[in-house]
């Protein structure tokens, strides 16, 4: 029976759009997601394209799903191309002009569960040893007292050492005195996004939240485990919300509601996952995700653009606007030297990344490190694992482990927090969790002191979650102000990376005025998007040193990663700089530590500082990401045709200030970017001038930008001093927008990119593989000053070389002589531009 008829029969009014959930038939049908102008009726688009309109894509406004019978060609791409061709010749208007983005759906790569562990490396033979340590009488007495006081009769409660550990005293989540206060997860809801949830288990059924549950693999309402190994989700669910009864044990938040969202048991598309990640997001408060790209030490993968949009949509609109809480397992690939910064889910600023410690408080061999890891909590290792519910009416499991078991435990603790503080935002939760985490195992783990007065370890994050401390702090937690951000310009480097320990260091100076203009008071997350060309990716590592001399290992070398490429617009994330002002010199160090025949070039990078706003009233919401967010340094050049003239620009030598003093233009809203997704519009507005910008800031080419006034303000919104340090001789630093040369420069750029988009980075548009970008970039001959962008992000003003205003002006004048090219606004011009750059290349 088709789902929509089921829905029709039982009339489930809570589903915003039941048509989102029509069963897909990937064997017989093709599916397209189109982002439409809000005035364009999807039914008419469907009619014109000969497709069936399947409804809105989950909670993503103006995104719609269409279907037709399966065929080789991308019929939408073909039709849009034809429409643009006709528009060039005949003009006029057409319903298809309202299509801002189109993507034919492909089955996406399988996400792997983070429960099953790879074998431990040599010398790590699982210590079965002294499990016979004798328990503490005092803790046993406490266990009995707690059970009596709370009427816990669950038969394996005494085995659940992660809740109260009588053997390794103190190595548990310290939750019993939280329960004693009546804080047990009441009125909080956690969704387990996984391979199903056994809602008929006697240990789960009373807490099962049907309205928040759905099976995206079999297109039915109940996310029942159906395959033999569909046990992972149920085990995770038990950790959170196993009912206090006479079956197995208890969940850490045993009164919470638990939903199941089944996505891991069959292959799905980005569209399905985007819907799943927003499913019932006004009611499901926390999404616990114990999966991700393979932890094989080779993968470097991030969610596609639709999933990225869904996650941003969730933090902006989910939970009544407070933001969905995403919890991700850090990954089990540590033995493969995998690192959670190579995973675009765990390194998203929108997810809380949770790693594992074992029952002795030690780092288990599998738990991945990275600068995006926020905290750790208990899981398998040192001879034991997590004891929880299993699939079956009355089945328990004592071997649940990996970081898969850590993430739901954290999610359950966050449910306890939401019982008493349902008003906390997604960012409040991150503050609360990190500020109350306890450093563990101080002798190992390379702990460093952070500016906030906390300790951070890439192995343990800010430490282990202590439920009691978290709840105590939650009681009086003062909500933080809204988010603000500052984006540096793209910083062009284009230097060979010396092999050995030294590395190539490049610095960027952030001035108080920049952050003031960005309305940014103090830092939370820091992201770095970068391009490195290399013939063996695993040889690379990257460190970031903040103005306060706090160190983030953004990436680490990986022995198994033989990919013959570097990083292509990949975004790394760090939570290590939390609480810093951000003002001062940021230095990035790219290393190629393996002295061998594989070498590379550091091409460019881009620093983004995220944090708390100065003035809440001036805060804005981040626009939806597009696949062009981090390659628009290319578009800048193509839009203004400056690059053609800049080959004549004299290289800037070491230690040179490229920027003028920005103090004469206060209060420019650097992050007041337009909220539209102009990047994927075919016809960006070409407003000739911006109001409110001091005219002295407007170079002569200004009107040639295809940007809205707001965008222009933003483009001009930052200025910087760049200083570069390097061991190599003759370093040139260029503030530049680089043209990304495409295999087929004549193709429409919007759709040229679509083929690549499944590999987009979550918070920066990082592309895996970089088949097109990296190598070509390495060979580029020109570096250039360039500025302006017709689209929403990353614009910035480059205020000339010290004493080089003349030169800059000449540059811009040249660009006028070259003609004014606005990509997307007129395709003929775009092609001219492309041609020009092809010849430059």
Ligand X SMILES: *[C@@H]1O[C@H](CO)[C@@H](O)[C@H](O)[C@H]1NC(C)=O
Binding-site string for ligand X from residue 764 to residue 803, where x marks contact by CB under 6 A and - marks none:
--------------x-------------------------
Judge contact between 530 and 606, C-beta under 8 A: yes
Stretch binding ligand X (CB under 6 A), from 199-207, 404-412, 532-540, 754-762: 532-540
Calculate the dihedral angle through the C-alpha atoms of 388, 392, 394, 395, rounding to the nearest 10 degrees.
-40
- Single out the catalytic residue among 256, 299, 382, 404: 404
The residue assigned the tokens 């040893």 is 129
Q: Which of 274, 307, 533, 719 binds ligand X (CB under 6 A)?
A: 533
Q: Are 63 and 57 in contact (CB under 8 A)?
A: yes
Instruction: Give ∠ CA 184-190-194 in degrees, rounded to 5.
Output: 135
Q: Which of residues 470-499 bind ligand X (CB under 6 A)?
A: 496
Least distance in angstroms from the C-beta of 600 to ligand X: 4
Q: Which is nearer to ligand X, 173 or 719 (by Cβ)?
A: 173
594 vs 687, beta carbon nearer ligand X:
594
Stretches 326-334, 595-603, 724-732, 808-816: which one binds ligand X (CB under 6 A)? Answer: 595-603
- Indicate the residue among 275 and 437 with the shorter CB distance to ligand X: 437
DSSP 499: B
Q: Is the CB of residue 317 less than 8 Å from the CB of residue 220?
A: no
How many angstroms separate the CA atoms of 617 and 643, rounded?
Answer: 39
CB of 606 to ligand X, least distance (A): 20
Residues 6+ apart with CB under 8 A from 10: none
Of 182 and 803, CB closest to ligand X: 182
**Pick 599 or 683: Cβ nearer ligand X:** 599
- DSSP codes, 364-385: PTTPPB-TTEEEEEE-SBTTB-
Determine which one of 194, 230, 543, 680 is catalytic: 194
As measured in angstroms, the least distance from the Cβ of 698 to ligand X is 38
**Of the candidates 321, 422, 500, 803, which one interacts with ligand X according to CB under 6 A?**
422
601 has which bridge partners? 496, 533
Sign of CA pseudo-dihedral 727, 728, 730, 733: negative
Residue 180 Cβ vs ligand X, minimum distance, rounded to whole Å: 8
Q: Is 500 in the site for ligand X (CB under 6 A)?
A: no
Nearer to ligand X, 274 or 286 (CB): 286
Site string for ligand X, 598-627 (x = CB under 6 A): -xxx--------------------------
Q: How far is the CB of 65 from ligand X (least distance, A)?
A: 30
- 493 CB-near residues (< 8 Å, 6+ apart): 504, 506, 602, 603, 604, 605, 724, 733
Piece in contact with ligand X (CB under 6 A), picked from 386-394, 596-604, 619-627, 632-640: 596-604
H/E run at residue 585: strand 584-592
- 232 catalytically annotated: yes
Catalytic residue among 64, 77, 232, 458: 232
Nearer to ligand X, 648 or 727 (CB): 727
Greatest C-alpha distance within the chain = 87
194 catalytic residue (yes or no):
yes
Task: Please identify, using beta-carbon distances, which residue of 271 and 417 lies nearer to ligand X.
Answer: 417
Tokens linked to 757: 């988009």
Beta bridge partners of 528: 572, 607
Q: How far is the CB of 286 from ligand X (least distance, A)?
A: 12
Interface residue with ligand X among 535, 585, 593, 594 (CB under 6 A) is 535
CA distance 363 to 366: 8
Rg of the chain, C-alpha, whole Å: 27
Which secondary structure element, helix H or strand E, spans residue 233, and what is its range?
Answer: helix 232-241
Q: In terms of CB distance, is 146 or 735 closer to ligand X?
A: 146
Nearer to ligand X among residue 59 and residue 368 (C-beta): 59
For ligand X, the binding residues in 361-420 under the rule CB under 6 A are: none
Site string for ligand X, 732-771 (x = CB under 6 A): ----------------------------------------
Q: Which is nearer to ligand X, 438 or 618 (CB)?
A: 438
Q: How far is the CB of 562 from ligand X (least distance, A)?
A: 15
Distance CA 554, CA 372 (A): 8
Place of tokens 């008929």: 200
Measured from the CB of residue 262, what is the shortest distance to ligand X in angstroms? 25
Query: Looking at 291, 468, 782, 812, which residue binds ligand X (CB under 6 A)?
Result: 468
Closest among 711, 633, 706 to 675, alpha carbons compared? 711
Alpha carbon distances (Å) from 612 to 107, 428, 564, 657, 708: 38, 11, 39, 29, 26
Candidates 73-81, 533-541, 629-637, 684-692; binding stretch for ligand X (CB under 6 A) = 533-541
Least distance between ligand X and beta carbon 477 (Å): 15
d(CA 350, CA 653): 39
Q: Cβ of residue 423: shortest distance to ligand X, in angstroms?
A: 8
**Interacting residues with ligand X between 165 and 194 (CB under 6 A):** 170, 174, 177, 187
CB 413 within 8 A of CB 470: yes
Task: Give me the least distance between CB of 486 and ligand X, in Å please.
Answer: 30
* CA–CA separation, 391 and 232 (whole Å): 9
Which residues contact residue 803 at a Cβ distance below 8 angstroms, ignoring those fewer than 6 apart? none
Asked if 466 interacts with ligand X (CB under 6 A), we say yes
CB 372 within 8 A of CB 363: no
* DSSP letter string, 620-634: -PPPPP-TTTTTHHH
Identify the residue among 309, 534, 558, 665 touching ligand X (CB under 6 A): 534
Closest contact distance (angstroms) between CB of 438 and ligand X is: 6
For residues 524 and 538, what is the distance between their CA atoms, to the nearest angstrom?
A: 28
Residues sharing a CB contact under 8 Å with residue 399, sequence separation 6 or more, in sequence order: 380, 385
The site for ligand X, by CB under 6 A, has a size of 15
Nearer to ligand X, 48 or 593 (CB): 593
Which residue ranges make up the site for ligand X (CB under 6 A)?
Answer: 170, 174, 177, 187, 422, 466, 468, 496, 533-535, 599-601, 778
Residues carrying an active site annotation: 194, 232, 404
């Amino acid at each position: 029976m088709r789902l929509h008829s089921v829905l029709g029969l039982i009339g489930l009014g809570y589903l915003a759009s039941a048509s989102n959930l029509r069963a897909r038939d990937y064997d017989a049908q093709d599916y397209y997601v189109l982002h439409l102008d809000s005035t364009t009726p999807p039914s008419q688009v469907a009619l014109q394209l000969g497709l069936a309109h399947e409804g809105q894509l989950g909670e993503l406004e103006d995104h719609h799903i269409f279907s037709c019978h399966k065929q080789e060609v991308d019929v939408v791409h073909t039709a849009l191309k034809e429409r643009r061709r006709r528009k060039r010749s005949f003009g006029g208007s057409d319903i298809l002009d309202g299509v801002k983005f189109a993507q034919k759906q492909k089955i996406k790569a399988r996400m792997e569960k983070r429960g099953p562990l790879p074998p431990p490396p040599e010398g790590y033979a699982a210590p079965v040893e002294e499990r016979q340590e004798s328990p503490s009488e005092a803790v046993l007495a406490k266990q009995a007292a707690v059970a009596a006081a709370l009427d816990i009769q669950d038969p394996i409660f005494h085995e659940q050492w992660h809740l109260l550990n009588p053997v390794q005293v103190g190595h548990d989540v310290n939750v019993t005195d939280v329960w004693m206060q009546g804080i047990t997860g009441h009125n909080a809801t956690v969704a387990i996004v996984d391979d199903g949830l056994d809602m008929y288990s006697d240990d789960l059924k009373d807490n099962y939240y049907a309205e928040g549950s759905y099976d995206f693999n079999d297109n039915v309402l109940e996310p029942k485990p159906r395959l033999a190994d569909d046990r992972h989700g149920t085990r995770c669910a038990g950790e959170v919300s196993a009912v206090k009864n006479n079956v197995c044990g208890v969940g850490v938040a045993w009164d919470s509601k638990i939903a199941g969202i089944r996505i891991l048991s069959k292959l799905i598309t980005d569209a399905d996952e985007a819907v799943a990640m927003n499913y019932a997001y006004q009611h499901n408060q926390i999404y616990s995700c114990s999966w991700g790209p393979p932890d094989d030490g080779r993968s470097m993968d991030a969610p596609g653009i639709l999933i990225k949009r869904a996650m941003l949509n969730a933090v902006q609109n989910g939970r009544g606007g407070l933001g969905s809480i995403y919890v991700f397992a850090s990954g089990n690939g540590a033995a493969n030297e995998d690192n959670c910064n190579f995973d675009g889910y765990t390194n998203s600023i929108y997810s809380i990344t949770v790693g594992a410690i074992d029952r002795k408080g030690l780092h288990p061999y599998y738990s991945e490190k990275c600068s995006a890891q926020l905290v750790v909590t208990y899981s398998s290792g040192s001879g034991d694992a997590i004891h929880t519910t299993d699939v079956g009416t009355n089945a328990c499991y004592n071997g649940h482990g990996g970081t898969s078991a850590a993430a739901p435990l954290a999610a359950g603790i966050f449910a306890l927090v939401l019982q008493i503080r349902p008003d906390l935002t997604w960012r409040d939760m991150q503050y609360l969790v990190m500020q109350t985490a306890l450093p563990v195992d101080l002798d190992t783990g390379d702990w460093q002191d952070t500016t906030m007065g906390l300790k951070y370890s890439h192995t343990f994050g800010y430490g282990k979650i202590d439920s009691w401390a978290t709840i105590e702090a939650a009681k009086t937690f003062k909500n933080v102000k809204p988010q603000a951000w500052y984006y540096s310009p793209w910083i062009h480097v284009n230097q060979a990376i010396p092999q050995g320990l030294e590395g190539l260091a490049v610095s960027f100076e952030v001035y108080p005025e920049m952050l003031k203009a960005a309305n940014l008071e103090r830092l939370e997350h820091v992201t770095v998007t970068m391009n490195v060309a290399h013939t063996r990716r695993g040889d690379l590592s990257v460190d970031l040193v903040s103005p306060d001399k706090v160190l983030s290992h953004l990436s680490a070398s990986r022995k198994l990663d033989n990919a013959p490429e570097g990083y292509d617009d990949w975004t790394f994330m760090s939570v290590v700089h939390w609480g810093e002002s951000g003002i001062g010199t940021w230095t990035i160090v790219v290393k190629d530590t393996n002295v061998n025949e594989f070498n590379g070039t550091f091409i460019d990078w881009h620093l983004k500082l995220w944090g708390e706003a100065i003035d809440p009233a001036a805060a804005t919401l981040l626009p939806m990401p597009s696949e062009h967010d981090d390659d628009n340094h290319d578009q800048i050049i193509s839009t203004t045709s400056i690059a053609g003239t800049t080959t004549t620009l004299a290289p800037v030598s070491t230690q040179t200030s490229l920027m003028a003093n920005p103090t004469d233009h206060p209060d420019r809203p650097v992050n007041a970017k337009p909220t539209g997704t102009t990047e994927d519009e075919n016809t960006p507005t070409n407003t000739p001038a911006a109001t409110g910008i001091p005219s002295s800031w407007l170079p002569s080419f200004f009107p040639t930008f295809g940007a809205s006034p707001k965008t222009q303000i933003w483009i001009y919104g930052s200025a910087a001093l760049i200083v570069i340090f390097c061991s190599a001789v003759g370093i040139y630093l260029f503030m530049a927008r680089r043209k990304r040369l495409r295999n087929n420069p004549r193709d429409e750029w919007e759709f040229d990119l679509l083929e690549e988009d499944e590999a987009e980075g979550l918070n920066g548009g990082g592309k895996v593989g970089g088949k097109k970008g990296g190598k070509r970039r390495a060979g580029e001959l020109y570096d250039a000053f360039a500025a302006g962008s017709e689209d929403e992000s990353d614009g910035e003003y480059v205020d000339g070389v010290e004493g080089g205003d003349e030169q800059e002006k000449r540059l811009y004048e040249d660009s006028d002589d070259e003609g004014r090219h606005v990509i997307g606004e007129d395709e003929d011009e775009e092609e001219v531009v492309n041609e020009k750059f092809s010849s430059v290349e």
